[in-house]
């Protein structure tokens, strides 16, 4: 090989755009080295190319192709320092090619996870090229061919471009390797066992640049995990405003609320907490109830359903606008009929309408992640609520009716969706919230807000707490307001005070034995 030759190494699984990019490289004076399938595609398109085995000395497709690129010649050609005279002399003496461009994308582990789709040679070349970015351009995505082509053709390969490509390469490797780590960590685990790795990298891919983050002066973007079955993976914008970070949070809060119900359910969300939660025989009834639960707070809210929206259900939003002068910011539903969408377009031009497909019963993710600056909490999802009902205990002399027990089960699912400390009042007959006290530091304060918001619906209503009542105060306040049944966690050293207060008021009280905090 000539010592003044400059080489580009092309070894890609995704062949998109590789022929046109190879033509740019030839025009820019590069000799192309290539492997396997990439070599075949280039040769079929009359691109002059050097087979990699002529450089490595490795037999073609040795060990079923596992040793195509791994060699002293290739890694040295990528790694040696072009500014170091000793390195230059060694490269000439050892006939090491000066590989100035590495174009590589990897086996499709994301689509076909398994031992044979774990790429070894590709990551080795990418890592070497990214490390030596002051001398070598590394390209891991066909999306970057145009940018690099422009730089080569205009003679403007800048330091900034080199570092940007190196950064993308290292993130790409981390994204790839984290999926492999997840693959091994999930294999052959005993049923029900949760394992938290000592070190963890979470693969995320950007899907949306948002209108803004939580506030207009904050930039934001949405990222998804590979192959997630999250409704966000199928989120489709049909009309109106683009999403902000606040909208994303509210849609998520709504999804976590309605996914608990098999029957049609609706949630109206503001600032990550529900204004109203309800179920019904169809989406119309569920949404009507959820909006009526607190129409004042529902102004400017986000509506989320777990069943499709038809024209009848959409008319709720038009009625809310016309009769209560209430605006809805976002509607997010599994699907929407064409006539319902046309109606919503007329209700409010800026209202965002989104679909996300059916909500999967089983999550694809193992962990519920909560991010804090510089730290991430991993925990199990707080699912399988149905399994806890059998452990509920009636602790008072008076027993709840069968109807009240059904309402209590709805109420416990609803309070799980409310930010803690949370106390809610539900209707005595209808599966809907009437008052929600959320995000309070005092449980008495949360009780007071829920009762006040429920108004006259406290008469005969049922009160649900996400944790225990350690004293009689909240029970006495509820009884005075006309509450006829109470659900709480139990487990306080002062349970007896709460039980005695309920007995005195002749109110049935049920202990769930399960806290339902949401922070």
Give me the active site residues, please. 131, 271
Alpha-carbon distance 166 to 213, whole Å?
27
Phi-psi region of 303 (alpha: psi -120 to 50; beta: other; left: phi over 0): beta
Residue 488's SS3 state is strand
Cα separation of 498 and 519, whole Å?
Answer: 25
Q: Which residues pair with 274 in a beta bridge?
A: 269
How far is C-alpha 228 from the chain's CA centre?
Answer: 8
d(CA 266, CA 268): 7
Residues 6+ positions from 374 with CB-CB distance below 8 Å: none
DSSP state of 336: B
Structure-token pair, residue 287: 């949404």
Residue entry with tokens 């089960």: 409
Q: If you search the block for the tokens 């190196």, which residue do you land on?
A: 166
φ/ψ of residue 185, rounded to 5: -70, -20
CB-CB contact of 320 with 326 (8 Å): yes
- Looking at the chain, how many residues does it have? 519
Give CA–CA dist 210/195, Å, rounded: 34
Token pair recorded at residue 462: 């049922």
Distances in Å between the Cα of 432 and the Cα atoms of 94, 275, 376, 383, 483 are 78, 11, 34, 21, 15
Interior angle at CA 334, CA 202 and CA 248, nearest 5: 45
Q: Under 8 Å CB-to-CB from 363, ≥6 apart: which residues?
A: 229, 230, 381, 383
């Amino acid at each position: 090989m000539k010592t003044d030759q400059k080489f580009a190494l092309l070894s890609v699984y995704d062949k998109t755009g590789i022929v046109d990019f190879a033509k740019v490289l030839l025009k820019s004076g590069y000799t192309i080295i290539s492997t396997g399938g990439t070599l075949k595609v280039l040769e079929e398109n009359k691109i002059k190319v050097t087979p990699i085995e002529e450089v490595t000395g490795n037999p073609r497709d040795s060990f079923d192709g596992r040793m195509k690129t791994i060699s002293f010649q290739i890694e040295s050609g990528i790694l040696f320092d072009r500014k170091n005279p000793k390195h230059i002399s060694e490269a000439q003496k050892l006939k090491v090619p000066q590989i100035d461009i590495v174009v590589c994308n990897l086996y499709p582990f994301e689509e076909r996870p398994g031992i044979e789709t774990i790429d070894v040679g590709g990551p080795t070349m990418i890592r070497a090229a990214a490390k030596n970015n002051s001398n070598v351009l590394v390209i891991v995505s066909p999306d970057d061919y145009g940018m690099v082509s422009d730089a080569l053709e205009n003679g403007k390969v800048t330091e900034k471009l080199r570092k940007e490509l190196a950064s993308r390469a290292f993130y790409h490797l981390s994204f790839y390797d984290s999926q492999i780590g997840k693959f091994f960590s999930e294999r052959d685990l005993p049923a029900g066992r949760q394992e938290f790795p000592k070190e963890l990298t979470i693969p995320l891919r950007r899907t949306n640049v948002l209108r803004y983050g939580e506030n207009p002066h904050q930039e934001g973007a949405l990222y998804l995990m590979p192959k997630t079955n999250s409704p966000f993976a199928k989120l489709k914008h049909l009309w109106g405003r683009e999403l902000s970070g606040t909208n994303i949070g509210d849609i998520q809060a709504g999804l976590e609320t309605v996914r608990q119900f098999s029957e049609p359910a609706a949630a109206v969300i503001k600032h990550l907490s529900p204004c109203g939660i309800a179920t019904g025989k169809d989406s119309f009834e569920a949404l009507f109830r959820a909006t009526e639960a607190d129409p004042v707070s529902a102004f400017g809210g986000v509506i989320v359903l777990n069943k499709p929206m038809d024209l009848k259900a959409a008319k709720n939003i038009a009625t809310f606008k016309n009769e209560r002068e209430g605006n809805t910011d976002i509607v997010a539903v599994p699907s929407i009929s064409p006539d319902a969408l046309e109606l919503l377009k007329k209700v409010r031009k800026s209202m965002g309408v989104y679909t996300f497909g059916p909500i999967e019963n089983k999550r694809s993710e193992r962990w519920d992640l909560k991010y804090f600056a510089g730290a991430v909490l991993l925990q199990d999802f707080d699912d399988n609520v149905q399994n806890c009902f059998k452990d509920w205990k009636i602790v008072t002399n008076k027993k709840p009716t069968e109807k009240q027990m059904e309402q209590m089960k709805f109420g416990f699912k609803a309070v799980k969706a409310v930010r803690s400390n949370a106390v809610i009042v539900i209707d005595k007959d209808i599966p809907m919230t009437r008052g929600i006290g959320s995000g309070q530091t005092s449980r008495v304060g949360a009780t007071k807000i829920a009762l006040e918001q429920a108004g006259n619906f406290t008469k005969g209503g049922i009160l649900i707490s996400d944790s225990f009542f350690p004293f009689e105060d909240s029970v006495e306040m509820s009884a005075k307001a006309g509450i006829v049944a109470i659900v709480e966690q139990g487990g306080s050293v002062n349970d007896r005070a709460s039980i005695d207060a309920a007995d005195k008021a002749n109110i049935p009280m049920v202990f769930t034995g399960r806290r339902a905090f949401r922070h």
